[in-house]
Chain A
């Protein structure tokens, strides 16, 4: 079974703090993704990575950065957390293939910024 794990299920931070969200997958997937999930808005893509050290902006990259130093690990960084970044953050991974492969999701990190 593919397993995508996220470092924390719940996180509380203060405005202005630097926040790291970590994601690890154990199936040698090339693609990794960070989404945020807000009620009534569904999931929105923040960033994705298709290879080590490669990244591309998604639909809402402002206020976020990412790091992928190893294939299995993809980190989301909030340089200076703000209250409007309070949300559920979901990490996902997928294989590269001829047809579109499903994304496998982690359990999510619920971040509260006070």
Chain B
């Protein structure tokens, strides 16, 4: 069975400082991993995905994530936060062979302050 744990329900950073959103996963098979973002009153948008190619994945808006199998982690980072990054972020896992089924984490709300 697959599962994902987002370690922080809420993260607050100052504009211009680094962002770290933590995610740990559990999977019986080789997983595919995603980060989605949801801005207020908007649908979810894919930030980036890992599907067993390069372990460092670059996404949109300057975000990136590193797949670490030994730590079963897929943390999301950004060097410098912008006010427009304030949103809810979801870490998502899917096992190979269950191509249609995604398991979502409970979300991390990112607050960016001046």
Contact = CB atoms under 8 A, between A and B. Distances in A.
Q: State yes or no: do A and B come from one complex.
A: yes
B104 A42 contact: yes
Contacts of B99: 96, 100
Contacts, number: 50
A44 B104 contact: yes
Contact of B106 (A35, A42, A92, A96): A42
Contact of A103 (B51, B102, B106, B107): B102
Contacts of B41: 107
B43 A45 contact: no
Interface in B88-114: 90, 94, 96, 99-102, 104-107
A107 B43 contact: yes
Interface of A: 4, 31, 33, 35, 40-45, 48, 50, 58, 90, 92, 94, 96, 99-100, 102-103, 105-108
